Amino acid sequence: MNPYQKLLNRKRKWTPVQVEAGKVKEGAEEVLFRALALRHMELPVGDFIKDALTTEVPALSRDILLSNITDEENHDVALGYIAKAYGVDEQAEAEALKLRQAWIAHPDHTITKAMVAERAIFFVLLPLFRFTGDAGMRTTSADISRDEQIHVATNSLVHTELGYNISPSLDKLRKATINWVMQPLGNSQDKYLNKQFWLSSSDRLMYEGKAPELADTKAGRMPAFFEHSNVNLPQYA
């Protein structure tokens, strides 16, 4: 079995649900508004993959790349439900849309842009939701995270097979994006409210492909049916 098929077989279908707003970690309110505003990147990442499919991607990768586009649409719906429950900050929304445009306009290959956005931006925002967000954010981010692990593995395989490189300017855009999200945080004793903790995690994911300091997410709080309202529980096929 080829590696793309193995990744496709790992997928689990899930359906986003409208969640209720709950209590978030004190001090994380503003950074969560910014992280949530970057949901506007989900559909462009799907578009990056669509664009990649019009180029010479490996034939064996086409089925999973098409499936990943559907996932991004699902993520957009799920994060939209969180935004509806939690609310949005209009300034953060406007600034996130400008960042989105910068990613769209960047000249690197679309598969490379998708890989960097998912590996070094989304993989930082999802743990942020899990460690500082409410019940709905935690469960939704856990489901999205399972999908994104498969997306990053797929895009990394395609990126490597095609011999692409990550340009210094794309890395600079990645740094600008994650710095913008984490800007409201300071030098807190609580690592999940510490700006440098999250920036370092993004750097390590970018340059090493892993961030051991985020290993706690493997044991991140999963929902228990007796703890939460049914609307905050995910629905699986």
Look at residue 73 and tell me if it is in a domain. Answer: yes
Look at residue 16 and tell me if it is in a domain. Answer: no
Look at residue 130 and tell me if it is in a domain. Answer: yes
The string of pLDDT tens digits covering residues 107-149 is 999 999 999 999 999 999 999 999 999 999 999 999 999 999 9
Look at residue 2 and tell me if it is in a domain. Answer: no
pLDDT band at 225 (very low <50, low <70, confident <90, very high): very low
- The region of weakest confidence among 25-29, 82-86, 185-189, 212-216 is 212-216
Look at residue 19 and tell me if it is in a domain. Answer: no
pLDDT band at 1 (very low <50, low <70, confident <90, very high): confident
What's the CA gap between 227 and 39, in Å, rounded?
A: 27
pLDDT band at 209 (very low <50, low <70, confident <90, very high): confident
CATH number at residue 30: 1.10.620.20
Residue that is written with structure tokens 């690592």 in the block = 191
Q: In terms of residue numbers, what domain contains 106?
A: 25-221
Structure tokens at 106: 């960047």
**For helices 168-182 and 90-105, angle between their N-to-C axes, nearest 10 degrees:** 170
**Paired residues of 194 in beta bridges:** 186, 187
Look at residue 185 and tell me if it is in a domain. Answer: yes
What's the CA gap between 154 and 51, in Å, rounded?
A: 15
Question: What is the structure's pLDDT at 205?
Answer: 93
Region 207-231: mean pLDDT is 59
User: What is the phi/psi pair of residue 32, to 5°?
Assistant: -70, -35
Number of structural domains the chain divides into:
1
Look at residue 17 and tell me if it is in a domain. Answer: no
Look at residue 198 and tell me if it is in a domain. Answer: yes
Task: For residue 185, give the nearest of 173, 172, 198 by alpha carbon.
Answer: 198
